């Protein structure tokens, strides 16, 4: 029997996005506030995922050993450190979230059967790395508030109520939606970035948050005049909106996760070949 286990760890550290070969103005243009001297800090949360067959003792790996390896190789060295100077890897490639995750993988791989490294810089930004050379995935989390009604226009109120329950009531209802947008790309060997984070956030705001926030989706978003704005359809439409602008940033839209409520969320998996003209694959995962 095979299993994936996850071990959580954390460390607090500072870093600065600054390339000495660039001028101050060039660094500010490229990295924004992150270029400020002497740097800034984060409370990082690390999840180390291991894959393997259960042994005679019912374990993939002895967690005492896993804990010791993570402490010796990672947290004891990074906690309260200035990341730009703590490891030689960060002299060549800046310690962005995605590059830190990559280097952590490299340092743990000789000791543990890794399947994923997930590093949270803060609750609304994290990176995943799975050992694919310079490829990583970066996730941005945001939110918007909107109302919707679930009803097919060709059906009566009674028929819609039978299908959608209370969600078919004529005045609709609202949610505080939480949106996670994951993009995959190659980590730049000098900047450590797989995508311009500011540009990515601007795209999400422009295409999704601004038009969707405080709207009645059925009436304010033309797409939903004919399409029932279920969580699944909203997530799929968001993926359609974001796919091309993210490709133009040099990354690929990997996943859109929409959390409608603590009890209801869905995920759209969007990966195709980079720069492929193929449409988004309609793969929907529901969590109720």
Residue of 260, 266, 267, 270 with catalytic role:
260
Q: Distance between CA 40 and CA 17 in Å, rounded? A: 9
Domain boundary (94, 115, 131) is at: 131
Give the closest residue to 15 by CA, choosing from 97, 74, 76, 77. Answer: 97
Residues 220 and 126 placed together within one structural domain of the fold: no
> What pLDDT is recorded for position 274?
38
Contact 46, 9 (CB under 8 A): yes
Give the closest residue to 144 by CA, choosing from 175, 173, 172, 171. Answer: 175
> What residue spans of the chain are helical by DSSP H?
24-31, 63-70, 76-78, 83-86, 89-92, 97-108, 157-164, 197-204, 210-212, 217-220, 231-248
In this structure, the number of other CB atoms found within 10 A of the CB of residue 83 comes to 24
Residues 172 and 110 placed together within one structural domain of the fold: no
Told to judge if 167 belongs to the known catalytic residues of this protein, a careful annotator would answer: yes
Residues 98 and 140 placed together within one structural domain of the fold: no
User: Tokens for 146?
Assistant: 């909107």
Domain enclosing residue 176, as ranges: 134-288
Q: How many Cα neighbours within 13 Å face the side chain of 61? A: 21
User: Tokens for 182?
Assistant: 């994951």
> What pLDDT is recorded for position 57?
87
> What pLDDT is recorded for position 279?
44
Told to judge if 214 belongs to the known catalytic residues of this protein, a careful annotator would answer: yes
Residue of 89, 124, 135, 167 with catalytic role:
167
> What pLDDT is recorded for position 272?
56
Domain boundary (75, 96, 131) is at: 131
Told to judge if 260 belongs to the known catalytic residues of this protein, a careful annotator would answer: yes
Residues 33 and 160 placed together within one structural domain of the fold: no
Q: Distance between CA 152 and CA 168 in Å, rounded? A: 9
Residues 197 and 234 placed together within one structural domain of the fold: yes
Domain boundary (131, 162, 187) is at: 131
Residues 85 and 208 placed together within one structural domain of the fold: no
Contact 260, 175 (CB under 8 A): yes
> What pLDDT is recorded for position 278?
35
For residue range 104-113, list pLDDT tens digits in order. Answer: 999 999 999 9
Residues 123 and 168 placed together within one structural domain of the fold: no
Q: How many Cα neighbours within 13 Å face the side chain of 176? A: 2
> What pLDDT is recorded for position 282?
45
Residues 9 and 44 placed together within one structural domain of the fold: yes
Residue of 122, 214, 248, 283 with catalytic role:
214
Secondary structure (DSSP) of 240-272: HHHHHHHHHTT-EEEEEEEEEETTEEEEEE---
Q: Distance between CA 35 and CA 40 in Å, rounded? A: 9
* pLDDT tens-digit profile, the chain (288 residues): 899 999 999 999 999 999 999 999 999 999 999 999 999 999 999 999 999 999 888 999 999 999 999 999 999 999 999 999 999 999 999 999 999 999 999 999 999 999 999 999 999 999 999 999 999 999 999 999 999 999 999 999 999 999 999 999 999 999 999 999 999 999 999 999 999 999 999 999 999 999 999 999 999 999 999 999 999 999 999 999 999 999 999 999 999 999 999 999 999 999 854 333 334 444 444 543
Residues 275 and 205 placed together within one structural domain of the fold: yes
> What pLDDT is recorded for position 189?
97
Residues 5 and 18 placed together within one structural domain of the fold: yes
Total domains in the chain come to 2
Q: Distance between CA 61 and CA 3 in Å, rounded? A: 10
Contact 4, 55 (CB under 8 A): no
**Stated length of the chain:** 288
For residue range 254-284, list pLDDT tens digits in order. Answer: 999 999 999 999 999 998 543 333 344 444 4
Peptide bond into 220 cis (omega under 30): no
Residues 110 and 205 placed together within one structural domain of the fold: no
The CATH number of the domain where 30 resides is what?
3.30.479.10
Residues 122 and 166 placed together within one structural domain of the fold: no
């Amino acid at each position: 029997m095979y299993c994936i286990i996850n071990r959580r760890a954390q460390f607090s550290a500072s870093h600065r996005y600054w390339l000495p070969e660039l001028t101050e103005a060039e660094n500010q243009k490229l990295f924004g506030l992150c270029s400020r001297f002497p740097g800034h800090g984060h409370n990082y949360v690390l999840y180390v995922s291991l894959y393997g067959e259960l042994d005679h003792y019912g374990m993939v790996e002895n967690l005492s050993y896993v804990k010791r390896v993570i402490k010796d190789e990672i947290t004891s060295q990074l906690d309260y450190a200035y990341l730009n100077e703590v490891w030689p890897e960060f002299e060549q490639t800046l310690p962005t979230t995605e590059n830190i995750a990559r280097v952590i993988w490299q340092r743990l791989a000789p000791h543990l059967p890794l399947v994923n490294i997930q590093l949270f810089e803060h609750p609304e930004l994290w990176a995943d790395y799975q050992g694919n050379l310079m490829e990583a995935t970066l996730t941005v989390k945001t939110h918007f508030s909107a109302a919707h009604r679930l009803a097919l226009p060709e059906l009566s109120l009674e028929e819609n109520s039978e299908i959608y329950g209370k969600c078919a009531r004529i005045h609709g209802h609202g949610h505080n939606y939480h949106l996670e947008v994951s993009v995959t790309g190659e980590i730049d060997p000098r900047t450590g970035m797989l995508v311009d984070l500011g540009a990515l956030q601007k795209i999400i705001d422009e295409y999704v948050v601004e038009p969707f926030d405080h709207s009645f989706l059925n009436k304010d978003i033309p797409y939903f005049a004919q399409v029932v704005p279920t969580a699944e359809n909203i997530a799929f439409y968001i993926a359609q909106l974001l796919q091309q602008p993210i490709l133009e940033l040099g990354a690929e839209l990997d996943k859109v996760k929409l959390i409608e409520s603590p009890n209801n969320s869905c995920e759209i998996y969007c990966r195709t070949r980079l720069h492929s003209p193929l449409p988004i694959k309609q793969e929907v995962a529901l969590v109720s």
